[in-house]
Structure 1
Amino acid sequence: MKKRKGHMTTTSASQPNHPWLVLIGLALGVTVTNGFARFAYGLLLPAMKSEMGWNYAQAGWLNTANAIGYIVGAVATMILIHRASPSRLFAFGLLATTLSLLATGLYAALWWQTLWRVLAGVFGAMSFSTAGALTAQLFRDDPKRNALAIAILFGSGGGFGIVLAGAALPLMLGTFGYGSWPFGWVMIGATSLLFLPLGLWAARQLHAPRQADSKAPPLPIRRILPELAGYAGFGLGYIVYLTFLSAWMTEQSASAGFIALVWVILGLCISASPIVWRPILARYASGLPLAMILTGIAIGSALPVILPNGPALLISAVVFGLSVFMAPGAVTNFSRQNLPPESWGTAISFFTVVFAVAQTIGPYAAGWVGDLSGNIGTSLLVAAGILLIGAAFALLQKPLEQ
């Protein structure tokens, strides 16, 4: 496969002295902004729903509120990336997300929870979307290692957070009762504080150019519509599983230990997913990687409902985990392979906006379907169908002209 020569030139910024340590710092940022800020709520949802007397739509609302904040953060990043470096945006977003997580556990009122879920979304999107642009600067002369770095960022970063939260939160709730859920948020925020120094250091090691520093061509929106549509399907569908999995397992009378086991396996598989997907991400500049990933997420989402037993749940966690966090890696790699370096930040931010708008609909709509049908498992099946539609769109994406 040929590469556009103009698109694969390096920027003037030098490589950091310790690129793998920089990658670890950036990945720990994703642990905070995605593994904790986005997905730990799914583990605490059964307790919060029970303690507050919420229905599924109300429980889904807090993740929708987080997704609304994510839209604001993604749009703000698209604007600010013309005025501030990705490094500064990443660092500010990481610090502010950490403080938002700590604040979430300080007061139980719904308005307070909504406020900090929104702010965690705003700042998390800012850090998450710039993390991809920063990581794309690593190993610029080695496409295979570059693809591995991008895959590790999104896979291992988020997966590590889910392993930690999955191992601790269900057992904490099982031991101390559902009333202990505020302490769960404090634990998450405190852990984020531990990761903060390395993440801030990593951001200072990379100097990706501001969009204003270069004369990047406008994004070819019409030519990347299939990839955008596939990524929108990802946003609509993936969040249902991660929001309501624990609630569905609780309805099936799963023990706290088994819930923890499923989430730990899920997180471990997310962390291992870069190894599985690296060759595919490095080889294809088309929408095929995203289509394959969305198909895996769909299968993982549907399995618990089609085969509602322990072994099927474990298989579901494996399949879903090996796929879910590679979707951002797929669009980041697509941008890197098809666009000039000066456009990477804007392109990834634009993909993030599309994703953010789509995922806003998912949690509340899934909760509404669950209330209407009396079974949140129905929402998991609907999400699987949406993911497969997204995969079909992604398959239509061809590489841009070489």
Structure 2
Amino acid sequence: MRTPGRPDRSASLWVVAALASGPLVSLGLARFAYALLLPEMQDRFGWTYAQAGVLNTANAVGYLLGALAGAGAARRWGTRRVFLLGTVGTTLALALTALAPGYAALLATRALAGAAGALAFVLGGALVATATSGHPPAAAARLLGLYYGGSGLGMTIAGLLVPLVLERSGPLGWRWGWLSLAAVGSLACLAALLGLRQQADPPPRGVEHRSWRRGSIGWVTAGYVLFGLGYIAYLTFAVAYLAELGAGAAQVAVFWAVLGLAATVGGLAWAPLLGRLGGARGMAAVLAVLALGTLLPLWQPRPWAFLLSAVLVGGSFLSAVTGVTIAVRHVLPAPLWTAGLGFATVAFGVGQSLGPWLSGAVADRAGGIAAGLAASAALLLVGAVLALPQREARPVRNRPS
């Protein structure tokens, strides 16, 4: 029997697992799976790396707009309703991408996927923060890791599904690839709906919280901007780098599946450290590991190095988001969690919007994607340094009664 006044952790676990459908669709399918489809689309349309990067920049710009609108939409229509709208809208955008007739239409559908995905991802994070309220730091970090790990599950599914679809679908395989992702997204929407039935909206922002000091989370937000600039290059161009080195479909599928599996469980592995260090210092450690993982295949462009890189990057990048969420919870009162996460996500979205174009432009000018990946690793290291000065008021651990 559950002790009165204490959180029901088993209920929280199942709710968070269902809400993880939001990251699965918004990031795992809509954003990161683009890397699997990019080589075939690039060959078919003759894009430069910069043009290919701009499509993910369009997705990131849409994400930025969605993050800007998310808090206001949640206050007006309810966090749960807008979260579901974002999950369904992202799935619709995946289907529309398959039908796009050209580059301009692809830009529009990628932007739509980003905007809807931001609603799902950010507001889902606010719902999970509410569901884990009252949990000890380590337990809350594990549940947040489970939520953000939904992105990794989406990547794993895409890594196993998309190469098979491309291999069997002929010259229009990229279109069938997007449709297959939309089919997976439809199932995820049903799971999200089930989770929402058991979760309440976050508490409304009171009059005393209508204005708040953004600088209170300034350092961790600055690190988050650099994370946005740096991590997205790897997840946009790693498969293109493999193709540049002559990798076949089987090697790409294994690489992406390992990346996704590592992302699925990585949040749980990082949770104890994040619980001890706090959000900002934990995020700095995550960014340092990401930089190492990004540089590894540049130093040793061999299959074992790519697999180890996939473990390091896949197992770490979502924990940067967990770190920011923990920091916001430690610094701000509960009624400001949605606003704080929205503000940090908007800043992150600025970096993420520039990252794909920047790394693609560096790759075009330097003669290969390796240069763009090296630049992104440097940005990640700078982000780790920027996050360290952030102060957090650590919560008191609940004592057993």
TM-score in terms of structure 1 length: 0.92
Stretches of structure 1 that go unaligned for 5 or more consecutive residues are 1-11
Percent of residue pairs identical: 38
1:71 equivalent in structure 2: 64
2:367 equivalent in structure 1: 374
Question: What's the offset of the Cα at 1:203?
Answer: 2.2
2:235 equivalent in structure 1: 242
Amino acid at match of 2:140: N
Question: What's the offset of the Cα at 1:213?
Answer: 5.1
1:90, 1:203 within 8 Å by CA — same for their partners in 2? no
1:286, 1:334 within 8 Å by CA — same for their partners in 2? yes
CA distance in 1, matches of 2:394, 2:210: 15
- Note if 1:153 corresponds to 2:140: no
- Partner of 1:308, secondary structure, is coil
Amino acid at match of 1:216: H
2:130, 2:202 within 8 Å by CA — same for their partners in 1? no
2:278, 2:394 within 8 Å by CA — same for their partners in 1? no
Evaluate the alpha carbon distance shift between residue 17 and residue 87 of structure 1 in structure 2; reply closer, same or farther with a 3 A threshold: farther
- Partner of 1:105, secondary structure, is helix
Amino acid at match of 2:51: Q
Question: What's the offset of the Cα at 1:148?
Answer: 1.1
- Note if 1:258 corresponds to 2:251: yes
1:85, 1:210 within 8 Å by CA — same for their partners in 2? no
CA distance in 2, matches of 1:137, 1:210: 8
Amino acid at match of 1:53: G
**Counterpart among 177, 188, 191 of residue 198 in structure 1:** 191
Equivalenced residues, count: 390
1:68, 1:357 within 8 Å by CA — same for their partners in 2? yes
CA distance in 2, matches of 1:397, 1:390: 12
Amino acid at match of 1:111: A
**Counterpart among 285, 288, 306 of residue 313 in structure 1:** 306
2:275 equivalent in structure 1: 282
Question: What's the offset of the Cα at 1:303?
Answer: 1.1
- Note if 1:299 corresponds to 2:307: no
Question: What's the offset of the Cα at 1:186?
Answer: 0.3
1:26, 1:131 within 8 Å by CA — same for their partners in 2? yes
CA distance in 2, matches of 1:260, 1:127: 27
- Note if 1:383 corresponds to 2:365: no
1:87, 1:204 within 8 Å by CA — same for their partners in 2? no
1:335 equivalent in structure 2: 328
Amino acid at match of 1:197: L
**Counterpart among 69, 88, 92 of residue 95 in structure 1:** 88
CA distance in 1, matches of 2:221, 2:206: 26
CA distance in 2, matches of 1:214, 1:273: 39
Question: What's the offset of the Cα at 1:94?
Answer: 0.7
2:341 equivalent in structure 1: 348
Evaluate the alpha carbon distance shift between residue 226 and residue 270 of structure 1 in structure 2; reply closer, same or farther with a 3 A threshold: same
CA distance in 2, matches of 1:287, 1:18: 28
1:6 equivalent in structure 2: none
Stretches of structure 2 that go unaligned for 5 or more consecutive residues are 396-401
Deviations 1:353-372 (A, max 9, x none): 01111100011111111111
- Note if 1:227 corresponds to 2:248: no
2:278, 2:327 within 8 Å by CA — same for their partners in 1? yes
Amino acid at match of 1:390: G
CA distance in 1, matches of 2:318, 2:356: 18
- Note if 1:82 corresponds to 2:75: yes
Relative to structure 2, which stretch is displaced further, 282-291 or 256-265?
Answer: 282-291
User: Deviation above 4 Å: which 4+ runs of structure 1?
Assistant: 14-17
Evaluate the alpha carbon distance shift between residue 111 and residue 60 of structure 1 in structure 2; reply closer, same or farther with a 3 A threshold: same
Question: What's the offset of the Cα at 1:48?
Answer: 0.4
Question: What's the offset of the Cα at 1:283?
Answer: 2.1
Amino acid at match of 2:142: L
Question: What's the offset of the Cα at 1:167?
Answer: 1.2
Question: What's the offset of the Cα at 1:217?
Answer: 6.3
Relative to structure 2, which stretch is displaced further, 85-94 or 251-260?
Answer: 85-94
TM-score in terms of structure 2 length: 0.93
Question: What's the offset of the Cα at 1:110?
Answer: 1.1
Deviations 1:254-305 (A, max 9, x none): 0110111011111111111122111122223352101001111111111111
